[in-house]
Each structure stands twice: as C-alpha cells, then as structure tokens.
Structure 1
C-alpha cells in the first residue's frame, strides 16, 4: 500500500535531508507493535481503528500470515545487530491479538526470540480486551513469558457504556473473569490496565474499580481526537478543562494515599519530568519515540493512533518484504517524533510547560490543511493538569525543606 500523499506538515515542510546533513541521527527502533490479528471481538464505539477516519483495516488480511511474522522477526534481528541494541520489545496488538489463537501466538514469540542475538533481551507483551483470557490461553502466555495489559474502563456501568459486543451486549463480566484469572494465577504476567477517560463516569469510582485486581500500573488514555474532529466535550477553541477536571481528583486520591496502591503512568511521567527526569511515554515530554508498527499485511506504519486523523495517516509506503526498519527511520512522520522541540508549534515552543507536556500526543495535534504543527487539542487540559501536579510537588518540597533540623 502506498503512503498517503499529504501536503501538510511534516510530509511538506520538514527537511529530513537537511537535518541529517547538519548531523542529526535517528534513534533506532526499540519497540515493534505487531498487529497479529486485524479484527476484534468487541465493537467499542470510540475505537480509533474501526471507528476512526482511517478504514484501511477493511482491505487488509484478518490474520498476520506466518511469512509476515517470519520476515518481521528477521527485520528486527537485522536492526538489532546493525545498531547493537541490548534490549527491545514486541507488543502483540490488533484488533484483538488473542483472536490469533494459542498456536499462532506461541509460534510468533518463538520466531522473534530465535531471530535475535543472545546479546539482546526481548520483552514480549500484549494489549488485550481480556475477553479471551481463559485458563488455557493464560497457560500458553505464561509458558512463553508474554506480559499482559488489559483494557478496562472502570466499573460495569462505565465500562459497558462503550466497550460492547457487536450485538450490544456489554463485555465487563467477561473481561473481569479473564482479568481475575490473570491477577490471581498468572500475576507475574500482569502489566497493568488501560482506561479510556469518559467524562460521564465518576473519576473516583472509576479509579477505585480499576484498583480491584491490584494492577501494577494504570494508564489513562485521553480519547483520540484532533482539532478537526475534537474529542467529546473538548471545546476546540475554548479554554475549558473538562479532562483535567476529571483527572485531578484521581491524582489527588492517588498521590495522597497512605501507601502506594498502583502506578499511574501519566502522573508518574509528569512527576518524573518535573523533577528533571526523561520521558518514557510517547504521549508526554520530548524524548524520541522509537516505535514502529507492522500491520497484518507487513506494511510498516507510524503509531496507529494517527488513524484518528485522516485515511492513510499512519502509512509510510514501506513493507517488511521490501524495506528494512532503517528505511522507516527517515520517514518525515517518524523523524518528527524524534526531533523534540524542533517538531513543536511556535505556541508550544514558548510555553512554560513545554518540556513537560512536549506538545501532548502527536495524533491530537492534527488540523486538516495544516498537519501536526499545532498544540494538542487538549492543550488547556494538559496545562491545568501539569500545573496542579507541579503546585502539589512544590508545596511538598517546601514543607520538606522547612522541616525542623533542615
């Protein structure tokens, strides 16, 4: 499949050859998102894959064929050796990756482990809706050391509002059955929960429902939207902060808990950046994004959340059969995710929280006719959340330094 021809930034306006001529070099890919199955057993109404602007999933294979898996593994091995990488990760994704079945998943993991040199550690994880986490499936994942993260949007009412089957039935009960199996008998595989923020759900009730299986981490995801198609109740040209107003009570509940109940990725990343650390998330901060997506047909893509922007937005025009991973490193969309401040709009470059926010999630910056050289559509929310966390930390640091004996 050819890459979408876009007159917008970064396809038009980012001079990659000049950057390389001036000495910039890309960061090698250390994460491969493998779309091992291209369909899903749920019909979530907010899904960026099936409900987004990009509908190319309809023309792609339902399942990733063994030759695509083998070639992708070989490409990763080639990339690891060329750049002397010491650790990489493969994320089994979809669609719903568990639809691929136990045999195909185990075979794929074997392929990737065999393709890498002994000098490189491989972490394999998956993002699943949890419905198919049977005892047999979990035993296979345990045997193959595959970490598992599960999508859960809170309690039954909150989860089932959007995460339903095609016939309208809710999925919460099935997800919880699988999640309880994971958290009890295969806890070493449990990587955490992914929760999409829904302003119609009570934030504290949602957070406390997520705590029930003692997840090691929770990742709150802002609904995908752009300046052209704003997220629910996010005023595109207004200064309201509905999403920060939803997240701040959770932060306060999490931060002031008498003991650590779980990690919350968004909050931890903001705290880490405020205290001078580096970002480990593609959605916050300015650290280079070193991730490539391989779809079921072997096409190399940028982060698949770009599907929320326009048809063909994630495409690079490259495939594992005709191109190395290095070929994708100089695609303008990949380069834009690695050059930090140089990829930010003028508004973001002069912002007081620039290095913390980092412009927000890349997909959320898109505006039709302009491209991605914009602040996040969530700009007011990000400013409010970061400012609240910053004030909280400053207050605690001031108390600590003023304590007797200091």
Structure 2
C-alpha cells in the first residue's frame, strides 16, 4: 500500500437508485450488489459530514480548488432541495473554490434543475449513446421504452442560449452494433465541448460484448479508429474527445486525467449515500470488496485512505504501448482467482488504437520538423 496524494475530485453518490434500466450499467447489472443495502438518498447528516471532510482535506493540503461530482444512480432523483442544500454547504464551508459537476441521464433535466445549476454554477454532463436507434438499444426505461427522445429534449434545453454555458459534455458507451461515424455525428449535433467514449465494462471472467479472451481481433479499436481519424482531421476541432486527447498527451510525455489510461496522479474518491469512502466504483463492478476502504466520512478523514500499489502484468511492463494505455482500466484486468495483475481484456484493442494514434502523431511531428 502507499500513502494517498491529496484528493482533488470527490464523486458524491447523492442517490443510489436510477430511473433507467440500462442493460450495460456497471452499478446495477454486474457483480456489485451493495447498492441494495445503501440508503436511496444521502441524508442531510451525511452530506454535512462529507462537506466537513472536504473542508478538512482542503485545509490540510492548502488546496485552492476541488471538484465535486454529483453522481449516482441518478443524482437528480435526490430532488432540487437536497441538491441545493449540498451546493450551499460546500460553497459556504469549503475554504477553496469548489467546481461542481453533475452527471445525469437527462431524464429529469428540466428548467427547474437548470435554473438551480445556473445559480450555483454547476456544469452538466449528459449520457447519450448517439442515434435514437443506438441509444434506445440499451438506455431504456423500466418498462422497456427508449429514453432517447426525452434525453435529446433535455439536451435541447441545456444547449439553448440560457444554459449552454453549463454544458460539460456527452458520455457515450461504445456499441459495436452501431455505426461509429453516425454515432459521432449525432453527438456533434449538440456541439458538446467534450465527448467521452467509454468501453463497456467487463473482465476476463465476464467479457464485454464482442470480446473473446485471447482472441487477437480488435473490434473496439476498429470502431474507434474511424472516429479518431475524423476527429483528428477536423480543423478547427469541433469538440474534445477526451480519450483521444489523453492518449496524445501520454505519448507526448504528459500524465493522464482519465481513469484507465496511464496512471492518474490524483485519482478521485467516491462517497456513497451512507458516507462510506470508496475507491473507484467501476472496479466494484467486478470485485466489490476491492473498493472498500472501511472508512466513512462520519468518522474518518480522507487522508486515512491508502491506495493499493499498482501492479501491472509482466506482459504489460514489457509492452511498447504501456506508456499510453497504462495497462487499461483496472476493472478490465480482473480475472476470478487471479485478481487484477493481468493484461486488460481489451489488450488487443488498446494496442492497436494507441499504436494508430502514435503513428498519426509521429507522421505529423515529422512533417513539422
């Protein structure tokens, strides 16, 4: 174990339930069942303890800014009063600038919430899986109806003249069954400042769709590379595709700001609705106990958290692209009975994609010199 560096981002699970039933959800559809025993909504008392611990952490490390991400479940289920109470408390009591973001499925994102977020300067990220057909394949209501129409209607409000300054970007999960460039074009329709393409979560023990452990095929790289080429060739760029930008940064010797690419200098901490302090909740999707610190904001400071020492598989340490892929997301390295010291289940895809980015970058740098 190693001492944890100062934490600059806190992911707050304000509500532990959701009003959608997305079939790929890492919270509700994989191995983690802890949400069943957690309070549906974070209590005022726990929120008070959370803010006190953030303020304590800021003072201890003389931080000038921290990020608080309202997450879930679906955080808007907590309601505007509970959300505003937390925003007010953090703004009043944390002796640093607090940058607020909410990550929402968009189903409840109306003028009431947008007005609240405008008042407190909360930036809003929305999950949208591209076209109506692609989105509604997975992101359904509990009765099976699609959610695309409701989400895009909410995006219409968010991207209008009154609230566009709050728009943080779009999050899209890759689906091999849909056209990548059609997906990208649909996301660009909303002029997002940032796009995040996420790989479906899975492991060696429960592989993601289309990935067969040990198969050298690269279906996810094949999906992402045309999008990279389109994005990279745009002048001026129409958005920032975070994963592509981070791979370029890593190839140029920088550090990662994205979980699952390279090593993060200051990984976020997660606070559950019961106040439990946890490591990445994505890792909990494959091994729930791996994120449990045994700590709670009611009794423990954030500095009490220690990180497991990162250990990459020997194959990764000898790999020529490890500087860019970092071994992939820890959850994707998991194998039952063998833990996390394995290559990513996405290893062939990561190798091909990061190599492709490096080749494009090297070609352009050579042209400049």
Q: TM-score, normalised by structure 1?
A: 0.89
1:94 aligns with 2:72: yes
Q: CA deviation at 1:310?
A: 2.8
- Tell whether the 8 Å contact from 2:193 to 2:239 is kept in structure 1 after alignment: yes
Q: CA deviation at 1:335?
A: 3.4
Q: CA deviation at 1:259?
A: 2.1
Counting matched residue pairs gives 368
1:156 aligns with 2:132: yes
Q: Secondary structure at the match of 2:70?
A: strand
**Aligned counterparts, 1:299-310, within 5 A:** 299-310=276-287
1:326 aligns with 2:299: no
CA distance in structure 2 between the partners assigned to 1:257 and 1:155 by the alignment: 21
Aligned to 1:249: 226
Aligned to 1:4: none
**Aligned counterparts, 1:159-174, within 5 A:** 159-174=135-150
Aligned to 1:261: 238
Q: CA deviation at 1:116?
A: 1.1
Q: Secondary structure at the match of 1:312?
A: helix
- Distance change (3 Å), C-alpha of 1:289 and 1:240: farther
- Tell whether the 8 Å contact from 1:28 to 1:290 is kept in structure 2 after alignment: no
- Tell whether the 8 Å contact from 2:8 to 2:266 is kept in structure 1 after alignment: no
1:105 aligns with 2:83: yes
**Aligned counterparts, 1:384-395, within 5 A:** 384-395=352-363
Q: CA deviation at 1:28?
A: 1.2
- Tell whether the 8 Å contact from 1:226 to 1:308 is kept in structure 2 after alignment: no
Q: Secondary structure at the match of 1:213?
A: coil
Aligned to 2:269: 292
CA distance in structure 2 between the partners assigned to 1:39 and 1:309 by the alignment: 19
Unaligned runs of 5+ in 1: 1-15, 20-24, 337-341, 402-406
CA distance in structure 2 between the partners assigned to 1:227 and 1:323 by the alignment: 35
Q: Which of the numbers 305, 313, 323 marks the counterpart of 1:355? A: 323
1:378 aligns with 2:346: yes
Aligned to 1:183: 159
**Aligned counterparts, 1:107-122, within 5 A:** 107-117=85-95, 120-122=96-98
1:136 aligns with 2:112: yes
**Aligned counterparts, 1:1-40, within 5 A:** 16=1, 25-40=3-18
Aligned to 1:404: none
Q: Which of the numbers 247, 261, 276 marks the counterpart of 2:253? A: 276
Q: Secondary structure at the match of 1:82?
A: helix
- Tell whether the 8 Å contact from 1:282 to 1:289 is kept in structure 2 after alignment: no
CA distance in structure 1 between the partners assigned to 2:213 and 2:36 by the alignment: 30
Q: CA deviation at 1:375?
A: 1.5
1:343 aligns with 2:311: yes
Aligned to 1:45: 23
Q: After the TM superposition, which parts of structure 1 deviate over 6 Å for at least 4 consecutive aligned residues?
A: none
CA distance in structure 1 between the partners assigned to 2:24 and 2:272 by the alignment: 20
Q: TM-score, normalised by structure 2?
A: 0.97
- Tell whether the 8 Å contact from 1:285 to 1:357 is kept in structure 2 after alignment: yes
Q: CA deviation at 1:258?
A: 3.1
- Tell whether the 8 Å contact from 1:251 to 1:267 is kept in structure 2 after alignment: yes
1:365 aligns with 2:333: yes
CA distance in structure 2 between the partners assigned to 1:189 and 1:258 by the alignment: 25
1:136-178 CA distance string (max 9 Å, x none): 1100111011110000000100000000000001000000011
Q: CA deviation at 1:344?
A: 1.5
- Tell whether the 8 Å contact from 2:6 to 2:266 is kept in structure 1 after alignment: no
CA distance in structure 2 between the partners assigned to 1:245 and 1:218 by the alignment: 18
Q: Secondary structure at the match of 2:290?
A: coil
CA distance in structure 2 between the partners assigned to 1:26 and 1:298 by the alignment: 19
Q: CA deviation at 1:288?
A: 2.5
CA distance in structure 1 between the partners assigned to 2:229 and 2:262 by the alignment: 21
Q: CA deviation at 1:122?
A: 1.0
CA distance in structure 2 between the partners assigned to 1:384 and 1:186 by the alignment: 39
Q: CA deviation at 1:205?
A: 0.3
- Tell whether the 8 Å contact from 1:225 to 1:363 is kept in structure 2 after alignment: yes
CA distance in structure 1 between the partners assigned to 2:163 and 2:241 by the alignment: 21
Q: CA deviation at 1:115?
A: 2.2
